[in-house]
Amino acid sequence: MPHRTQAKEIMNKKIITVTVGSSLAEATSLMSEYRVRHLPVRTLDNRVVGILSSKDFSNIVDPQNTPVEGLMSGPVEWVESDLPLRSAILRMIEKKISCLLIGDSRGDIKGVITSEDLLWFLAEMLEKNEHKQSPFTLFDVQSLSEVANQISFTGL
């Protein structure tokens, strides 16, 4: 049986979060310092209640006095770490999101997968197949959905 890539195999384990009540200025500082584009927003008891994306910051007049919960998106989309990568990709496409939290059965965050992570994974796959018959070429790929289907079809 061919190996099926699971979400946990490509997730980013560097999880930077921001707490409810933090200002957008604090969130911007964290994003810049850790070079991330998404911040899960959690309560003081560590429940994730939303996600903040760098795209959420456009047209903000006063980031110092604007709380993150005013701009965060929710509810947050989660998948378990052993979910096949293809299913995670299709969830992202279906929900039109660029970040998916990876958790365990208790709901603890174990990592994140972003659209950028998927592009890096695709680039690595293409590089590995550069000198042999590739399961797909750039000319064959019309959408991320097709990439997900190719990943499933080839057993990657």
pLDDT for 4-38, tens place per residue?
889 999 999 989 999 999 999 899 999 999 999 99
Letter for the amino acid at 99? C
Parse the chain into domains and list their residue ranges: 7-154
Q: Could you report the per-residue pLDDT of 58-68, keeping only the tens digit for each? A: 767 777 888 88
Tokens 């994140």, located at residue: 112
Could you say which architecture CATH assigns to the domain 7-154? Roll (3.10)
- To which residue do tokens 């293409």 refer? 126
Considering the entire predicted model, what is its pTM?
0.74
DSSP string over 27-67: HHHHHHHHT-SEEEEE-TT--EEEEEEGGGGTT-S-GGG-B
Question: Residue 63: what residue type?
Answer: P
